[in-house]
């Protein structure tokens, strides 16, 4: 008996889940909110196919000339019981080579009734580092993720199995502390015990490392604060940190630190959220301590590789359904000779215009101008058209 293809299994799964929940909903019994978000793009870049895969390094970025299936996400969310809430997000993609990808993106429980401002999340989930990493691609303000996020947190975002505790403090302003611990291995933990298709990372060979103590896990911390600056303006300030081992050998470890800001102005008298002005920015710094390594193929001493980058963006919702934006970003690495496309000096300027016919669809035009040392001409441009539709009920995203 021949097994169904990945896309065939995905189709069968969606039909099964949809049919089951539709039956229950028809009988006035509601177990979960079900939604399907489909994100596509098309466009062109002056960079060749190989360079374009590096320029658009995010797993959900448009990274080929022509058409891209960026992300098709099936989400199930609802109350498990009076004490727990559950979420699951399953995604489908078609990569630049035309291969189908189907994977579990997130599935976790969160508590609802703990005292003293505490909440626990357990399962597999996006690490709460910075502002953009925990967000799903359909909620981004641009067609692609910033370069520094791709380099430090991975093309698919930093995520994995674990548990985190959040504490909403009794301070007079909104202040919440997040502490988490997750597995440090896997392809979604590129700065740590990642397992890419190649056997090296940043020019260094990778070795297997067993879990021996808590120090071999990924530890995360985030402190988020929110203030009102008058009746029409709110600002969020966050600081995040990550600590964990890397796969260069015993003694190899990685630390990543970041800060983020989000400011939004929206007048009290508005037309369903318009007009508004939103400013967002993040900066990140990585210390990647590569362990000494001695083998037949590679001899290297202990080396500290550092990377730094940031982005800043402005979104202007000038009329109901219409948003224009501009983003500038920069990323660079040091501690290694030569030009490494994954660590060299990069800048990008992007401008876009988005139209929302309703809350269930959008069309976005975006123009990118990239500058990078590894490019033959030093720069490249790209033009992308993105379109999305949403079926079902999707929970709102955090401010």
Same domain, 18 and 113: no
The gap from C-alpha 358 to its chain's centroid, in whole angstroms, comes to 24
Same domain, 95 and 220: yes
Same domain, 26 and 57: no
Look up the CATH number of the domain holding residue 160: 2.40.160.10
In a domain, 15, yes or no: yes
In a domain, 45, yes or no: yes
In a domain, 399, yes or no: no
State the Cα–Cα distance between residues 238 and 310, nearest whole angstrom: 14
Same domain, 225 and 364: yes
Number of H helices, E strands in the chain: 3, 20
Is pLDDT of 23 > 70?
A: no
Query: Cβ-count burial of 328 within 10 angstroms (0-12 exposed, 13-18 middle, 19+ buried)?
Result: middle
Same domain, 22 and 64: no
Same domain, 283 and 357: yes
Same domain, 221 and 125: yes
User: Structural domain of residue 369, as residue ranges?
Assistant: 35-392
With a pLDDT cut of 70, the percent of the chain lying above it is 88
Same domain, 358 and 379: yes
Same domain, 45 and 22: no
Same domain, 20 and 168: no
Same domain, 161 and 24: no
State the Cα–Cα distance between residues 106 and 86, nearest whole angstrom: 10
In a domain, 280, yes or no: yes
What domain count does the chain have? 2
Same domain, 169 and 294: yes
Is pLDDT of 304 > 60?
A: yes
- Note the pLDDT of residue 24: 47
In a domain, 398, yes or no: no
Q: For 305-353, what is each residue's pLDDT tens digit?
A: 999 999 999 999 999 999 999 999 999 998 655 567 888 899 999 999 9
pTM of the model: 0.90
In a domain, 397, yes or no: no
């Amino acid at each position: 008996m021949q097994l169904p293809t990945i896309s065939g299994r995905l189709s069968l799964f969606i039909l099964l889940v949809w049919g089951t929940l539709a039956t229950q909903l028809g009988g006035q019994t509601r177990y979960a909110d079900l939604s399907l978000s489909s994100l596509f793009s098309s466009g062109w870049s002056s960079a060749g196919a190989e360079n374009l895969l590096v320029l658009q390094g995010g797993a959900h970025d448009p990274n080929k000339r022509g058409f891209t299936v960026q992300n098709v996400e099936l989400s199930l969310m609802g109350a498990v019981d009076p004490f727990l809430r559950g979420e699951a997000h399953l995604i489908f993609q078609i990569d630049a080579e035309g291969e189908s990808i189907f994977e579990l993106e997130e599935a976790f429980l969160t508590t609802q009734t703990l005292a003293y401002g505490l909440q626990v999340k357990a399962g597999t989930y996006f690490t709460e580092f910075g502002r953009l990493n925990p967000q799903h691609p359909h909620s981004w303000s641009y067609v692609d993720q910033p370069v520094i996020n791709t380099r430090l947190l991975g093309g698919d975002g930093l995520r994995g199995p674990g548990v985190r505790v959040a504490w909403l403090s009794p301070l007079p302003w909104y202040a919440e502390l997040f502490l988490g611990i997750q597995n440090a291995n896997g392809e979604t933990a590129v700065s740590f015990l990642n397992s890419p298709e190649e056997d090296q990372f940043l020019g260094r060979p990778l070795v297997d490392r067993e879990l021996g103590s808590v120090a071999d896990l990924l530890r995360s911390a985030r402190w988020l604060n929110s203030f009102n600056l008058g009746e029409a303006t709110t600002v969020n300030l966050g600081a995040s940190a990550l600590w964990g081992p890397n796969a260069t050998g015993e003694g190899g470890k990685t630390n990543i630190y970041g800060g983020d800001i989000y400011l939004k102005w929206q007048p009290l008298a508005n037309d369903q959220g318009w007009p508004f002005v939103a400013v967002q920015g993040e900066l990140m710094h990585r210390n990647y301590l590569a362990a000494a390594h001695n083998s037949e193929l590679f001899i290297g001493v202990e080396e500290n590789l550092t990377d730094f980058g940031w982005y800043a963006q402005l979104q202007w919702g000038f009329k109901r359904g219409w948003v224009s934006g501009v983003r500038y970003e920069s990323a660079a690495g040091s501690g290694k000779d030569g030009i490494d496309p994954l660590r060299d000096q990069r800048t990008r300027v992007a401008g876009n215009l988005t139209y929302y016919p309703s809350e269930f669809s959008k069309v976005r035009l975006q123009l990118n101008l990239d500058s990078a040392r590894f490019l033959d001409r030093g720069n490249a441009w790209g033009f992308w058209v993105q379109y999305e539709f949403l079926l079902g009920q999707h929970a709102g995203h955090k401010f």
